[in-house]
Amino acid sequence: MGQPVREYLLTLCVTAAVTYLLTGPVRKFAIAAGAVPEIRARDVHREPTPRLGGIAMFGGLCAGLLVAAHLTNLKSVFETNEPRALLSGAALIWILGVLDDKWGVDALVKLGGQMIAAGVMVLQGLTILYLPVPGIGTVALTPMQGTLLTVALVVITINAVNFVDGLDGLASGMVCIAAAAFFMYTYRLWFGYGIEAAAPATLFSVVLMGMCLGFLPHNMHPARIFMGDSGSMLIGLVMAAGAVSLTGQVDPDLLNQKAGGLREATHAMVPVYIPLLLPLTIIAVPVADLILAIVRRTWKGQSPFAADRGHLHHRLLEIGHSHSRAVLIMYFWSALIAFGAVAYSANDASMWIVLGIVLLSAVGLVLLLLPRFTPRAPIWAERLVPPRYRRVVRGPLAAGASASDATADGVAEETSGEERRTAVPAGINGATAIGDRSRFVDRRKAGSHH
């Protein structure tokens, strides 16, 4: 059991390292190539930021699959066509994304490209063969039904991830959380129940985690580079490929036979249906955002593909949350739904799992409704935390300053770092995405704006 874990860890580290190391050169290339679009009305960042981060993520994907192909316990995955099918579809969607990041591609053309990429994977064997239907059992799908269902799942997942990519670090973090939950479930199926058909999905989830973890340090607020459509569509396709592989390739009857003896009554059937439900739970938040966006735009008489500022992350900013806190809230809800589904499928004490999810949901709602709340560290720990979390201001007072001035400074310290940044005009903001952050004073004197 330990050897496969080490091999998965090696694959994860190689994928993350290659993605991280490639992102810096890719950022310079994006700037030189002019892939730095102007700020649009719906954007929340204030400095032009290069895209094309998907180039580095695709490099990490290739490196991870290459390493896994030479590992003892993982090379058996490459005896099937699924890794080849994933790489073929990923290459097509990545090329489409790069073209869109540089020159822009019409929404209908992108939709067609997504369907072609999904079709290429289907032609190479990565498709849904049958579905476990409650009350009926396993239903075998015809080739046409399997193709249509697979293409629909891939397109929905890609666009759900693409829609949620609106804040620094949001899409990559949420997908990483979903991939971690997906890995826990698929790894248990493979090495816990001995179901080898779950091996490709397990590998895909590990590689996906590495891609996101390697890109996140460059993409956290304030982001130095965006993944763009080349990255968001890529990780969406990899996530969909894992879901298709698990849902369509794992025999529900075999799964019920392996797990049924360990459970009682209704809960014995949970592992049978969770492959169908888990892909939906891990993208529940992005899909909810996607559905709300389509309904909202259609209601207004607009195209469903028309961009706006009505997404969930935009609404969190509007009610007063800072950029970083809005991202963390989205992380929280994604982790709660994904890991809650996995825990329910793996644990017999399901009622306690449900009660825990309800309790954490209540905590999440409290945090959601307190956008102005800033936690404070104890006095003894103030030197260990950033100034924004300290109760009082440390340091000498200016000459002639009164106690009331010190109190005013302490009150001013209550303002979060995000709110202090918003008070600085965009042209002199030190947290620039392209230039050196320490040189904004010189640019202000020169009267230039980047």
Instruction: Enter the DSSP assignment of 139.
Output: E
Cα gap 304→289, rounded to integer Å: 12
Residue 229 assigned ligand-binding role: yes
Do residues 275 and 252 touch, judged by C-beta distance below 8 A?
Answer: yes
Judged by DSSP in three states, 134 sits in coil
Q: Phi-psi bin for 416: left (phi > 0), alpha (psi -120 to 50), beta?
A: beta
Q: 238 phi and psi, to 5 degrees?
A: -65, -40
Do residues 210 and 12 touch, judged by C-beta distance below 8 A?
Answer: yes
Residue 162 assigned ligand-binding role: yes
Name the β-bridge partners of 130.
140
Cα gap 229→54, rounded to integer Å: 7
Judged by DSSP in three states, 137 sits in strand
Cα gap 260→27, rounded to integer Å: 51
* The one-letter amino acid at 329: I
Judged by DSSP in three states, 349 sits in coil
Instruction: Enter the DSSP assignment of 38.
Output: P
Q: Which residues are annotated as a binding site?
A: 162, 229
Q: Point out the annotated binding site for Mg(2+).
A: 162, 229
